[in-house]
Amino acid sequence: MLILTSCGPSPSPDPDPSPAVETPGATDEPAGPTYVPDGTADDNLPLFSAIVAQVWASDQRASGRAYIDALIAAGFDRSAMQVTQDSTTVGNPAESLQFSVRWGEKECLVGQVGPSTGDPVTVVLPQLAEGRCLVGTTRAIDW
């Protein structure tokens, strides 16, 4: 009769979990652009552009209200905004929508979207007379 025995290390217990190790370069900062209330129009253009792109990619892309609501949700001042009509005087969808946020005393964040525009356009432009950003008739932002 043959009996086999083995001498080997006994299994060791699971080690205690080690403390979390921080990844070099990791921060608590948001991944995308942020609203800079004390910044310039140029400081806030990345966020403005990101919001416009996000709405443009949604099923609300032809709604001026969707752009305004998204900008307000991000912290932009409703009372400093303008937006054009979603449809023409005969009820057809507008070929382009423009919307803006007056920034300070001299600048505006301006966006334009629509079939005639192609990809969304966002820029910083100088304010027009009387603190306006858009030329022509705009609709009331009264919602």
| Phi, psi of 129, rounded to the nearest 5 degrees | -60, 150
Q: 29 pLDDT exceeds 80?
A: no
Q: 10 pLDDT exceeds 80?
A: no
| Phi, psi of 76, rounded to the nearest 5 degrees | -70, 150
β-pair partners for 47: none
Please give the mean pLDDT across all residues of the chain.
Answer: 86
- Residue-wise pLDDT for 78-127, tens only, equals 999 999 999 999 999 999 999 999 999 999 999 999 999 999 999 999 99
Q: 142 pLDDT exceeds 80?
A: yes
> Which one is predicted more confidently, 20 or 59?
59
Model pLDDT, residue 31: 80
Segment 58-78 mean pLDDT: 97
Q: 128 pLDDT exceeds 60?
A: yes
Model pLDDT, residue 8: 47
Model pLDDT, residue 3: 46
Model pLDDT, residue 27: 57
- Which of the four pLDDT bands, split at 50, 70 and 90, describes residue 1? very low
* Widest distance between CA atoms in the chain: 107
Angle at 60 between CA 55 and CA 65, to 5 degrees: 85
